[in-house]
Structure 1
């Protein structure tokens, strides 16, 4: 065990904490708490390949970093470690620069993010809810008669991208390949970059079709937006929207179903009541947020943060889950979570999820969870709760599987 927090400048070689491996996969929450005790709100870490970075654990410090996009910038080309990064670095998909909205800064970022926000604002959320209910009904129909299902692969993973495909005006026939490739592109492994390239090709074909035959959909709005986006810009920004919608929303659905199936507050009572789906969705964002950590921000100049000296070009990893759990932040021991949306799960500031993206994600998650519980109200876990396993990642929080059983039901016909 290291000594109590007393920062050195620069951090000693043995002070840096390896930010990978089984320790985080077993109990990340306990690891974050220990790191906070030993190192304070800003922790010197080693990423895969022992590349140095900082993990920002404190709620106030994450707020500070995300609020100041000039000092803590987004362009990954600022990183001072590029000479040490091998071509096959497993985290390359998170840092390789491209001219999408994800890595733009200043006025250019506001131009691109504003267009995305306007396009998403044009999505009728009532129509989206009906569409998601229909998608969920079709998926439930596939397993309702069997009395058992695996709700991650058969349900949660298949819903967000189908909803996005509808918002994008994509043919349903292209959805299965898109689901596979988006999932691979967000993972850490050799298939990530080839999968990303395939998703990019799919978006380029989509934009070309919408240029020729516009419709009532997100790409068509972007093509006509006064920001004057090029086709290449739209393709890249649609990729960002797709990635942000798919895995985080799928994990949000899966983590919410897990909570509702393991917490007695959400059990169906004799009068047919249960704690609300909305309450469960919000609690998951606090305690099991789908995006645990995010790469990142890059210091534009030498500065100080949380008692640490940060040098120009240093990489800061945003510890969103740890910030949510910070006892010195918005979630104190006596805070009521009901209606409390001060979490960092959607980021914050200029580079947080643009409005109304969080509302769109919530419509997708809430409507589909409600359909499942309405259709199969006696759903229960088919395995002990303690045997449920999280996917091995320090970046995303999602279950490997969620096997359930229920009274077999007829297909809906809806």
Structure 2
């Protein structure tokens, strides 16, 4: 039971989560929301659809750890009657989705086991080799120019190329998948078209691998799905789970690489940590997940009954958004805001509770992100920001916190040609 607060809670005026401030100064916005509303703030999603944004670390731990009270079943939402059929945020909310994100209990655990088993079978040396090869190819394409955009021409391309290879996509499908995934997650006018492109591409791959299995993630999931606990997983269920895996594996990892490089170029504390030696890269990148996690907010959880959360009266069916970046800077758990968290891995960047990112998926993301940063350090050692740090623009997405561009300059070199 969550007891009612001892003092009456005054009505609060929700604020729009989207807007220019989320792009220009998200940390300031989250601080102001916390100062105004406390650990849980009322927010509006375009067009004026209400939700709760969890800002407190302890409250976020509570929500993600109690799947009985805060469910992933989007069918519980009490605002569906207000949602347009072409709502750009719909792909990330998940109405009618049958993916692993929206299941619970034994069925959820069975599907997580199929995903984990397929990714766990990925050879770590092969994974590292794929990541290095694609990273070198991307650097080769720009190294002779002496300048590039490390988001558009590197970070935004690397993870999906690695994942596409692991899944079984042809190399030429990578650019289209990148564009579609960006549109889907940004939640703007092309979001639904991006979702359709990804879904159609994945369905074709699943059908092909069902007919002609190979040594890849999709084939392993199809094989494991036939013997999963309970009823066998359908091709539709496997397709939905693969879309989730691709989206969660590419976008946050691309943002992780981009945010790491940004901090290296703009934050002296982080640069000293990252450049302290190759053995410190993993720890330095863990700090990025605290300082500027690529997944800022997550949709979401839905209250299964009336309850209290952070002093707010949450009603049955209310949407609760997970404010990961805000929780990482909660002053109650990070009393010294200027101190880097070092080896502390108690962040929410990979989730928490029943719907935490499977460990093999975390390992894949970590290898790809770390390799991406290490290749840049090796190939472009005198890298420098080509524009004022204040002019860097973040994505307009209410969910992701990565940059749209990261212009840099460096000493031109010859490609490796390998």
TM-score (norm 2): 0.92
Question: 2:57: which partner in 1?
Answer: 59
Counterpart Cα distance in 2 of 1:165 and 1:92: 24
Structure 2 Cα separation of the partners of residues 160 and 337 of structure 1: 26
C-alpha change, 1:268 and 1:410, in structure 2 (3 Å) is farther
Q: Return the offset for 1:97.
A: 2.5
1:49 to 27, 44, 47: 47
CA contact 2:42–2:51 (8 Å) conserved in 1: yes
Q: 2:264 aligns with which of 260, 270, 295?
A: 260
**Cα distance, 1:168–1:408 mapped onto 2, change above 3 Å:** same
The answer for the alignment partner of 2:335 in structure 1 is 332
| CA distances 1:16-35 after superposition (whole Å, capped 9, x unpaired) | 22222223333121121122
Match of 1:169 in 2: 168
- Name the structure 2 match of 1:211: 210
Cα pair 2:297 2:398 within 8 Å, conserved: yes
Counterpart Cα distance in 1 of 2:238 and 2:276: 47
Q: Which residue of 1 aligns with 2:290?
A: 286
User: How far apart, in 2, do the equivalents of 1:109 and 1:89 lie?
Assistant: 27
Helix, strand or coil: the match of 1:155? helix
Maintained 8 Å contact 2:395/2:402:
yes
Give matches, 1:26-41, under 5 Å: 26-41=24-39
What's the secondary structure of 1:145's corresponding residue? coil
Distance 1:177 1:33, change over 3 A: same
Q: Which moved further from structure 2: 187-196 or 156-165?
A: 187-196
Shift of residue 138 of structure 1? 0.6
In structure 1, stretches of 5+ residues that fail to align are none
How far 1:7 sits from its partner (Å)?
A: 7.4
SS of equivalent to 1:256: helix
1:186 CA drift (Å): 1.4
Normalising to structure 1: TM-score of the pair? 0.93
Partners in 1 of 2:92 and 2:287 — Cα distance?
27
Cα distance, 1:274–1:177 mapped onto 2, change above 3 Å: closer
The answer to whether the Cα contact below 8 Å between 2:186 and 2:398 also exists between their aligned partners in 1 is no
Q: Do 1:389 and 1:401's aligned partners in 2 also have CA atoms closer than 8 Å?
A: yes
SS in 2 for 1:294: strand
CA RMSD of aligned residues (A): 2.2
Distance in 2 of aligned mates of 1:66 and 1:406? 43
Tell me which residue corresponds to 1:383: 387
Residue matched to 2:144: 145
Does residue 1:412 correspond to 2:410, yes or no? no
162-171 or 16-25: which moved more? Answer: 16-25
Gaps of 5+ in 2: none
Q: Distance in 1 between matches of 2:145 and 2:131?
A: 22
Per-residue CA distance 1:110-139 (angstroms, 9 max, x = gap): 111221111111111221011100000011
Query: Does the 8 Å contact 1:7/1:39 carry over to 2?
Result: no
Question: In structure 2, what is the Cα distance between the partners aligned to 1:306 and 1:408?
Answer: 53
Please list, as runs of the form range in 1=range in 2, the aligned pairs for 1:316-331 lying within 5 A after superposition: 316-329=320-333, 331=334
Q: Using the TM superposition, give the Cα deviation of residue 325 of structure 1 relative to its aligned residue in structure 2, in angstroms.
A: 0.5
Contact 1:266–1:274 under 8 Å retained in 2: no
SS, match of residue 126 in structure 1: helix
Q: Once the 2 structures are TM-superposed, how far is the Cα of residue 45 of structure 1 from its aligned partner?
A: 1.9
Query: Contact conserved, 1:260 with 1:280, CA < 8 A, in 2?
Result: no
- Kindly tell me: are residues 410 and 140 of structure 1, through their superposed partners in 2, closer, same or farther at Cα, counting changes over 3 Å? same
Q: How far apart, in 2, do the equivalents of 1:324 and 1:215 lie? A: 41
* Contact 2:186/2:396, CA 8 A, preserved across alignment: no
Output the CA distance in 2 between the equivalents of 1:63 and 1:265.
28
Q: Is the 8 A contact 2:67 2:354 kept in 1?
A: yes
Residue 120 of structure 1 aligns to a residue in which SS? helix
Inter-partner Cα distance in structure 2 for 1:141 and 1:17: 45
Deviations along 1:376-400, one digit per CA (max 9) or x if unpaired, are 1111111222222222333211112
CA displacement 1:21-71 (0-9 Å, x = unmatched): 223333121121122122111112222122221111110110011001111
The match for 1:69 is: 67
Q: Does 1:198 align with 2:201?
A: no
Q: Secondary structure at the match of 1:216?
A: coil
Q: 1:135 matched to which residue of 2?
A: 134
Instruction: Please identify runs of 4+ aligned residues in structure 1 that moved more than 4 A.
Output: 5-9, 265-269, 271-275
Shift of residue 224, structure 1, vs aligned partner? 1.0
- The superposition leaves residues 263-292 of structure 1 with CA deviations (integer Å, 9 ceiling, x where unpaired) of 3356589x9958932233112110111110
1:25 alignment counterpart? 23
After alignment, is 21-30 or 124-133 more displaced?
Answer: 21-30
Q: Is the 8 A contact 1:74 1:104 kept in 2?
A: yes
